[in-house]
Structure 1
């Protein structure tokens, strides 16, 4: 039965049919930038405070994707809060809408983005492979907010951005080595009733310049057009307005990127605001004859499916499945909540988490390791050895957002219990308002436990259940269903999270031999049982 489930999930994720359905990738991947090099496509996305930042995904058909790396290896260079020191955090700051581009003259990839409304940071790969080592090469003391980049015919790179203080769009011409702007100019004064426009993406098509931009007030996407990049006479036109996706996606569509295939076709990928799962990518073909025009259904909405114009190319799946933490480094699917304390975890054919923070506040605890949900319903399961926990330690698996809950083992003296804790909350100043309430508890013996979270983010459900097992075969639900929050202010979607923190003293640890992420509500036997 287990093999059949795995096969079914794989077929659902990587179907080689003649059409693709939206969303092509049901994970929280917002503010996408898309690039094509020969027949390979690359996607970059926002990650806010999660580390490493700016993941890179690869595809050969724009539908099947896999994680291959990150452009921002750590976040500490953005400020002290990114390491979660006592009394500080960096929630929802960090890697916002940004750009990823390959510059042939440099034979390298570059990433750029504004952090903390203050500075623009630029990173580069060490070579033409985007999985090579990335390092920061420049800091520009101006915020190129929600910026985009493109290469003109002569090889010059231009960056478009919003000046938040002036409500204008600007263009920066970059130096050949991508470290400094050599010319910066305001090109667009935003209309007085549309000053919230953001998320610029510049392109040149058939000699004409375009800047795509999102207008969140109306849930729309617009395009500016001009005959030269530094023109001050850009013309504005609607690209999408009031276009909605089909359920289970629920929100408006905007803030995307354009790419041309090797066959000459154009596609635009934006995202749908579909919390608590997050901002989910949608893909649609467009035509471009003077103005880009989206291909919509007969009723003017996002179609249920579109014909493939590229040969389907399934990839090795690292979105779901079992991770046994093989080798001595984490897979590229994982991101920490803030920069981790590298002295307090090891990967060696299994993950060991030592307590890194003395706190009773999960939001203040370092070394919480996260994975994006696979929507709209997915199941995460871990096996955990808890024999090395110290008194006061709390370790387990949860759903992490500004309204959170978890199932975990607590050690009190020499007694171990498995507890479901819910209603862990932050306010919109990202200050913890509730460290959680014990909703249910059960005694456990031995040294190994399986913990499971089933998250259902379909509309009108938006809830999760928490389960445990002492043999990996028979699971018991612990506590009530947890109602997940659908507000947008936290921006990042809900994630599965593995944690271990100390309420009394440091020095304890847990060992995680494996983690499993399955599409749908999986209630069967756990890996390693």
Structure 2
């Protein structure tokens, strides 16, 4: 009987594998918040950096072998800066700021990733010989060069091109330790927005510079008033100009990025699209060359499918579940996790109770936004759910611990100790102000929480549930209307939190976090 099973199943598996190989990739290539992407290819491997602003660690590095299936390999820094805004001290925060658009480059055996930060007022450059294992060396200097692109020219000189509307260039020292003495900034393009017209809402920014067949190509984004995010390209025979520009792509608001080629000679533009509450999601657009210009899209449009391998999904490479069990040699936290601002490392542990994440309070906080040690990871589209179980037996009066969806208009589902009694509380800040939507008494010590997100067609709603046994789920509160807001400038993230409002020293033990790419119907 076993032989017959093998005979019939083997061709079926072979057919399924063949189907997976021939199925085309889809846009968006990553249905999750990966904004301001910058990309390189080294041999047959692609590396990408992105923006995560106020989160820690920051400046994520991802890799791929096919431009579609990406996995986290590290971060350029653990701590950007320790000013009060980054550590959530003295009532300060840096939501929507921190480090912004990065530039990743490979030059003579060294990887370079650069960024800039209003929070520090500096330009930050990180270097390593091993992009997947590190270590990273950090250099920083003033000022903070906005939306810059790092560029190594063929003559060995190194530049940053940056600015908004009026694009400028500055030369760096050969070791990138700062601006080269005796040099001054040079205006490259007086009005880089001009190819998109004169009625501009968002001036040209997001510079990324490339050199192809001896010519320089400078990519930017611009946003005409009453229109959509648009790709502009300028080209020149010399880096100092003169530059000529053209409108390169205006479809679906897919814009901001640059060029990447494959080992077999195909060209693509990597770009992203604002897609509501899930965040800014990456797209790939085919490129062909005509008369020395890169021509983006298919008849000027962003295609739904691509001549690349299909995605195998974002789980477990960009988000994944965590049982909080660690073997010897395992990292303390998988790379998908980031803290909301710099953590207080003495107040969290995976060792205090085996198989649990412990979040302990160490100070009193007046709001969820100022709470330390909220542990987060991305939500994903078109739909997803995140769930957790926690032991609340050691919470103190006024403590609030549970599961959140983090953005300015957040949702919280947790246990709060009120007058000595544990209460399951759902907070809905979808209106912009936090409102207690429902409160349910909790008699036991363990409770299960779940949040389901629907980003399909920008529906942008979330529902919360609780359970006492992990099997039967009860809806609670009101549906959260999720909104992408500029004060936070980030797609919604799942988070585990615990903070104190009356006394310190309490703690919550989280048994697991599970994420799925589906919701209940």
Question: Which TM-score band (shorter chain)?
Answer: 0.7 to 0.9
3-state secondary structure, aligned to 1:213: strand
Residue 212 of structure 1 and its aligned partner are, at CA, apart by 0.2
SS at match of 2:143: coil
Once residues 44 and 511 of structure 1 are traced to their aligned partners in structure 2, the CA distance between those partners, rounded to angstroms, is 33
Q: Tell me the residue number matched to 2:67.
A: 62
Within a 5 Å distance, the mapping from 1:455-466 to structure 2 comes to 455-459=453-457, 461-466=459-464
In structure 1, the residue matched to 2:8 is: none
Q: CA deviation at 1:52?
A: 1.4
Aligned counterpart, 1:411 = 417
Cα deviation for residue 154 of structure 1 reads 4.0
- Tell me the C-alpha RMSD between the 2 structures: 2.5
Decide whether the 8 Å contact of 2:375 with 2:495 is kept in 1: yes
The answer to whether the 8 A contact 1:355-1:509 is kept is: yes
Q: Distance in 1 between matches of 2:366 and 2:81?
A: 24
How is 1:449-528 mapped onto 2 (pairs within 5 angstroms)?
449-459=447-457, 461-522=459-520
TM-score when normalising by structure 2: 0.87
TM-aligned CA distance change 1:263 to 1:16, over 3 Å: same
Matched with 2:285 is: 284
Q: State how far apart, in whole Å, the 1-side matches of 2:479 and 2:518 are.
A: 17
- Aligned partners of 2:246, 2:516: CA distance in 1, in Å? 42
Alignment of 1:58-457 (within 5 A): 58-77=63-82, 79-104=83-108, 107-116=109-118, 119-139=121-141, 141-162=142-163, 164=164, 167-182=165-180, 183=183, 184-190=185-191, 193=198, 196-217=203-224, 218-231=228-241, 233-241=242-250, 243-244=251-252, 252-289=253-290, 290-296=292-298, 300-308=300-308, 317-327=316-326, 329-348=332-351, 349-423=355-429, 434=433, 436-457=434-455
Match of 1:22 among 17, 20, 27: 27
Larger deviation: 193-202 or 361-370? Answer: 193-202
CA–CA distance in 1 between the matches of 2:117 and 2:138?
Answer: 13
Q: Structure 2 vs 1, CA of residues 447 and 331 (structure 1 numbering), >3 Å: closer, same or farther?
A: same
1:197-222 Cα offsets, whole Å, 9 max, x none, are 10000000000001000002341010
Equivalent runs, 1:11-50 vs 2, <5 Å: 16-50=21-55
Q: 1:36 Cα deviation (Å)? A: 0.9
Quote how far apart the aligned CAs of 1:312 are.
7.9
Kept in 2, the 8 Å contact 1:66–1:316? The answer is: no
1:121 and 1:347, CA in 2 relative to 1: closer, same or farther beyond 3 A? farther
Instruction: Check conservation: 1:420, 1:441, Cα contact below 8 A.
Output: yes
Q: In the TM superposition, what is the alpha-carbon distance from 1:174 to its structure 2 partner?
A: 2.7
Are 1:367 and 1:499, in contact at CA under 8 Å, matched by a contact in 2?
yes
Q: Does the alignment pair 1:51 with 2:60?
A: no
Distance in 1, matches of 2:113 and 2:431, equals 33
- Whole-Å Cα distance in 1 between the matches of residues 151 and 40 of structure 2? 10
Classify 1:512/1:203 alpha carbon distance in 2 versus 1 (closer, same or farther; 3 Å). same
Equivalent pair of 2:112/2:128 in contact (CA under 8 Å): no
Structure 2 residue aligned with 1:526: none
> 310-319 vs 264-273, which deviates more?
310-319
> Aligned residues, how many?
485
Cα shift at 1:501? 0.4
Give the 3-state SS of the residue equivalent to 1:131 in structure 2: coil
Cα deviation code 1:477-527 (max 9, x no counterpart): 11121111244453211111111000111101111121111102058xxxx
Q: Distance in 2 between matches of 1:361 and 1:334?
A: 22
SS in 1 for 2:186: strand
Q: Which has the larger radius of gyration?
A: 2
TM-score scaled by structure 1?
A: 0.86
Secondary structure at 1:322's aligned position in 2? Answer: coil
SS at match of 1:197: strand
Could you tell me which runs of 5 or more consecutive residues in structure 1 were left unpaired when the two chains were aligned: 1-10, 245-251, 427-433, 524-529
- Check conservation: 2:400, 2:498, Cα contact below 8 A: yes
Deviations, residues 34-90 of structure 1 (Å, cap 9, x unaligned): 01111111111111211111111111000001111111211325x331111122111
